[in-house]
Structure 1
Amino acid sequence: MATKHEQILAYIGGLPVGTKISVRAVAKDQRVSEGTAYRAIKEAETSGLVSTIERVGTIRIEQKPLNNIDSLTFRGLLALTDAKVLGGSAGLAKHLDKFVIGAMTPDEMLRYITKNSLVIVGNREDAQMLALQNGAAVLITGGFATTDRVIRLANEMELPVMQTTHDTFTVATMINRALSDQAIKQDILTIASIYTPLDAEVQVGQPEQTVADFNRLRAGRNDFALPIVTPANRLVGMVSKKQTTGKKPGTVLERIMVKDAITVRPYLGVTAVGHMMQGNGLSVLPVVDDSWQLLGIVTRGAVYSALAELGTNSQGTTIADSVAGAVTPAAAAPPVGAAYTLVTTPMMMNKLGTLSFGVLNEIINYAVTHFLNAQGRRNVLIEQLALHAFRPLQLEATVHIEVKTLDLNSHTGVFEVSLAADGMMAALALVTCQLLERTTR
């Protein structure tokens, strides 16, 4: 039988996209306490079922599927380039590792063709045959057809031969961007790579066990938390030192366990989970699948170790990378803060020729994060950013950025960030951030 927490999540999942959700309404509809409704809504937000929008409220959104961070498949390439299959459809599930533009002689092309690569070529039968014979798929540009001989070989080799009306340059640009996006996804660290799976090191308990059993398993560890599971390994609760303090040794765990425990999924980002753990004062979280089967646990130590070891070299270029490359520290800085300069570039502009609002937010984000990083605060998460833009910033404008500290402690920071160009104020922001630091509770 599903728990109240699961029933609420199922109820939220069944609401139409765009439905406004409130704690009071959910509690009333599901006949639960507002506290139980609140925890379920926060879980739904973490899982991507709902989103909280400032001055609008919590809205049911379309849940995004788990991203496939493997390389691009030939089937995915079909949709990307608006192509159709001429032959070799049995190989559409294969992964694309790289692409080669067939603008060379066959002998010169041969050294670049590898297995599972893609040869982009026009109406050149010799190049198409060469690609298939060496394990590569073919994308024919310009809307050209091909011969029956090529199609027979494609079917035999189970390598797709595809046709698109786009020109070679456009297709190469599309594929390069897709491969870059996949590389960026691979750089995003998720819980799947750091959690401890169920094995001899992960202790689990059953509802019928007692506080005495918990104390024996805990063995003096302050950060210990015990997942409570059914015989089928389904998570039904969590027990920590807080629940057992003052309880008799014979007290059954089912009576004191947290039944609506906060859980995480393997595909969640490490930074988001770190924020969740610090905000709720938790040192251990259970990792479950979508059926609430316990997969393992993730500890705060593992999260912060992973954040500390995050590399800075990305295989793709994001807007954040571009901003980071353009911002430089300035000599003159406020007494408690920092100063930077930036020259706007074409890729930062919107269609009106002024600095994109999203890029403006990223500049402020980077300035605050860089300032805190320089002070040894490595893991910074922006929580709120109230931005007032007074006038547009033009292409190749020199922007002066100043960060002033309003409040800073071990867990949070509040900053005022001003941007000016040509001696005039262009924007002013108030930024609140959370510092994900190692602490013991």
Structure 2
Amino acid sequence: MSKHHQILEYIESLPVGKKISVRSIAKTMDMSDGTAYRAIKEAEKEGLVSTIERVGTIRIESKKDRLIEQLTFEEVVNITDGEVYGGQVGLKQPLERFVIGAMTVEAMERYLIEHGIMIVGNRRDAQRKALENGMAVLITGGFEPDHDLIDLANLKGLPIIGTAYDSFTVASILNKAMMNQLIKKKVALVSDIYTPLKDTAVLYPDDTVKDYHHLSMTTGHSRFPVVHHDNRLIGIITAKDTVGKSNRTTLDRVITKDPAYTKMTSTVASVAHLMIWNSLELLPVVEDKLTLLGILSREDVMKAMQTSQRQPQNTNTVEELVMESLSNPQPDAMIYNYHVTPQMTSQMGTLSFGVLCEYVAIATHEQVFQSFTARSVIDEMSIHYFRMIQIDSDVRVKLGVLNTSRRAIRYDVDIFVNNELHAKGYVSVQLMDK
């Protein structure tokens, strides 16, 4: 085992709340400070420790991942409280599809695919058929597989799993997990698109305006993060900061200090709003104590949002449900029609307030794109109900421009059902492409 992994194992064995430091780890493990530092940073990424300002680095309870990056047979075991009887070597394989074995064996053949799992009760013939055709097996109802099927699963390297749940419950659990995974994959994070530090040009406070101009000419860029020599962010330097300044002026005298920044776990949508609202072209990406990890440009954000709009989806979010029911019979009149389906209602059978907000948001974005060929971010919205909107209603959203500026548009919103006013609202948006 490498020194790095030895330290990680040692940190993992420490009780929650134990304080550690580079010096204490290096002394305890009889290793260099550099090795200890790198291992502690890795432990922080894995959620084993957390660095708290003015307290230090503390062993914490391990965090679960924000999402299941890839749904594997191992994850199926976890979410169904299952037991693995055979084929353990295949647990890391990805799950792409599940099939409920509620048909004859002959009829199953067309549905048997690799990287899939057959959900089936106490049916030996169906279990064998799945394994023989490269499919894992999930046996429901608390039944156990026969020894010859376990041997076949081990031979094929395909997991054979048992669970006490019934087939319908298991199918519901897996369907929800797969839907959540698809939806979360659609959410782009800063960590997905940022430019890492090794590819980032930086300057230091004791550099001069002449150094800035040289770097700008070399890279073709005009904005750079300024960091201390320990890589801690202290500011941003742009072309306008150097106007009229002597080439000998040091950057610590002209930089924009305490700049806006973002973290790796921030969503691209939230960062887009921050950059538009504050007219930012560049955002430093930092970790705790403002240690610079890289940068994010306005161009990176725009590309990511355009890509996410083209990304195929196999499940329906609220936004997609609303889009499916959208019609725009009168673009010039800024009128958008929707139909209230059962999925859009609350337990009372009336239109959910959140879905109504989504109606207005999508109508607004569509109108901005039609009128200005620009994408938009909503920065303010208020909606007031006069009457509840029932299931199967045809809703008409009518927009009216209150005022416009170079970067912002404000709309008055009227919401009708059967030509009767049911709600009224106000929306303010910022333009992204301007």
Please give the alpha-carbon distance, in whole angstroms, between the structure 2 residues aligned to 1:291 and 1:129: 57
Please give the alpha-carbon distance, in whole angstroms, between the structure 1 residues aligned to 2:68 and 2:246: 49
2:274 aligns with 276
2:207 aligns with 209
1:391 aligns with 387
Please give the alpha-carbon distance, in whole angstroms, between the structure 1 residues aligned to 2:255 and 2:87: 56
CA deviations 1:34-89 (Å, max 9, x no partner) are: xxxxxxxxxxxxxxxxxxxxxxxxxxxxxx97644633123433454454444455
- Aligned to 2:295, the other structure's residue is in SS state strand
- Aligned to 1:386, the other structure's residue is in SS state strand
Q: Is the 8 A contact 2:399 2:412 kept in 1?
A: yes
Q: Is the 8 A contact 1:223 1:284 kept in 2?
A: no
CA deviations 1:112-153 (Å, max 9, x no partner) are: 434432111111233334444554332112332323444455
Please give the alpha-carbon distance, in whole angstroms, between the structure 2 residues aligned to 1:217 and 1:333: 49
CA RMSD of aligned residues (A): 3.2
Of 94-103 and 108-117, more deviation after overlay is shown by 108-117
Return the letter of the residue paired with 1:218: S
Distance of aligned partners of 1:76 and 1:410 in 2 relative to their CA distance in 1, 3 Å threshold:
farther
Q: Is the 8 A contact 2:191 2:265 kept in 1?
A: yes
TM value normalised by structure 2? 0.74
2:353 aligns with 357
Q: Is the 8 A contact 2:80 2:163 kept in 1?
A: yes
Please give the alpha-carbon distance, in whole angstroms, between the structure 1 residues aligned to 2:240 and 2:68: 39
1:195 aligns with 194
- The 5 A counterparts of 1:49-68 are 67-68=66-67
1:348 to partner: Cα distance: 1.3
Please give the alpha-carbon distance, in whole angstroms, between the structure 2 residues aligned to 1:431 and 1:314: 28
1:314 aligns with 2:313: yes
Distance of aligned partners of 1:232 and 1:96 in 2 relative to their CA distance in 1, 3 Å threshold:
farther
2:425 aligns with 429
- The 5 A counterparts of 1:88-99 are 88=87, 91-99=90-98
Q: Is the 8 A contact 1:98 1:118 kept in 2?
A: yes
Q: Is the 8 A contact 2:401 2:411 kept in 1?
A: yes
Distance of aligned partners of 1:220 and 1:205 in 2 relative to their CA distance in 1, 3 Å threshold:
closer
Please give the alpha-carbon distance, in whole angstroms, between the structure 1 residues aligned to 2:238 and 2:126: 66
Please give the alpha-carbon distance, in whole angstroms, between the structure 1 residues aligned to 2:100 and 2:126: 10
1:157 to partner: Cα distance: 5.6
Please give the alpha-carbon distance, in whole angstroms, between the structure 2 residues aligned to 1:353 and 1:400: 19
1:326 to partner: Cα distance: 0.9
1:53 aligns with none
1:296 aligns with 294
Please give the alpha-carbon distance, in whole angstroms, between the structure 1 residues aligned to 2:175 and 2:294: 37
Which of these residues, 379, 399, 406, is aligned with residue 402 of structure 2?
406
Please give the alpha-carbon distance, in whole angstroms, between the structure 1 residues aligned to 2:108 and 2:312: 31
1:73 aligns with 72
- The 5 A counterparts of 1:25-174 are 67-68=66-67, 70-88=69-87, 91-106=90-105, 109-110=108-109, 112-151=111-150, 153-154=152-153, 159-174=158-173
Return the letter of the residue paired with 1:421: V
- Aligned to 1:353, the other structure's residue is in SS state coil
Please give the alpha-carbon distance, in whole angstroms, between the structure 2 residues aligned to 1:88 and 1:348: 43
- Aligned to 1:350, the other structure's residue is in SS state coil
Please give the alpha-carbon distance, in whole angstroms, between the structure 2 residues aligned to 1:315 and 1:123: 31
- The 5 A counterparts of 1:241-280 are 241-280=239-278
Q: Is the 8 A contact 1:88 1:154 kept in 2?
A: yes
Q: Is the 8 A contact 2:276 2:430 kept in 1?
A: no
Q: Is the 8 A contact 1:72 1:179 kept in 2?
A: yes
1:96 to partner: Cα distance: 1.1
- Aligned to 1:261, the other structure's residue is in SS state coil
Return the letter of the residue paired with 1:219: M
1:344 aligns with 340
CA deviations 1:351-391 (Å, max 9, x no partner) are: 11111111111111111111112113432111121111111
Whichever structure has more helix as a proportion of its residues is: 2
Q: Is the 8 A contact 1:71 1:97 kept in 2?
A: no
Q: Percent identity?
A: 36
1:259 to partner: Cα distance: 4.9
Please give the alpha-carbon distance, in whole angstroms, between the structure 1 residues aligned to 2:153 and 2:244: 72
Please give the alpha-carbon distance, in whole angstroms, between the structure 1 residues aligned to 2:65 and 2:291: 18
- Aligned to 2:310, the other structure's residue is in SS state coil
Please give the alpha-carbon distance, in whole angstroms, between the structure 1 residues aligned to 2:111 and 2:290: 48
Please give the alpha-carbon distance, in whole angstroms, between the structure 2 residues aligned to 1:365 and 1:124: 50
Of 412-421 and 281-290, more deviation after overlay is shown by 281-290
1:224 aligns with 222
Please give the alpha-carbon distance, in whole angstroms, between the structure 1 residues aligned to 2:423 and 2:270: 28
Distance of aligned partners of 1:206 and 1:159 in 2 relative to their CA distance in 1, 3 Å threshold:
farther
Q: Is the 8 A contact 1:263 1:288 kept in 2?
A: yes
Return the letter of the residue paired with 1:356: S
Which of these residues, 341, 366, 370, is aligned with residue 362 of structure 2?
366
Aligned length: 371
Of 258-267 and 119-128, more deviation after overlay is shown by 258-267
CA deviations 1:79-102 (Å, max 9, x no partner) are: 544544444556544321221223
Return the letter of the residue paired with 1:341: N
2:177 aligns with 178
TM value normalised by structure 1? 0.73
CA deviations 1:383-428 (Å, max 9, x no partner) are: 1211111111112122222111111223111111111223422111
CA deviations 1:172-226 (Å, max 9, x no partner) are: 34323322332233333333444333456x3222333222211211229996222
CA deviations 1:323-363 (Å, max 9, x no partner) are: 111121234965xxx11222211111111111111111111
Please give the alpha-carbon distance, in whole angstroms, between the structure 2 residues aligned to 1:228 and 1:66: 32
Distance of aligned partners of 1:389 and 1:115 in 2 relative to their CA distance in 1, 3 Å threshold:
same
Q: Is the 8 A contact 2:277 2:430 kept in 1?
A: no
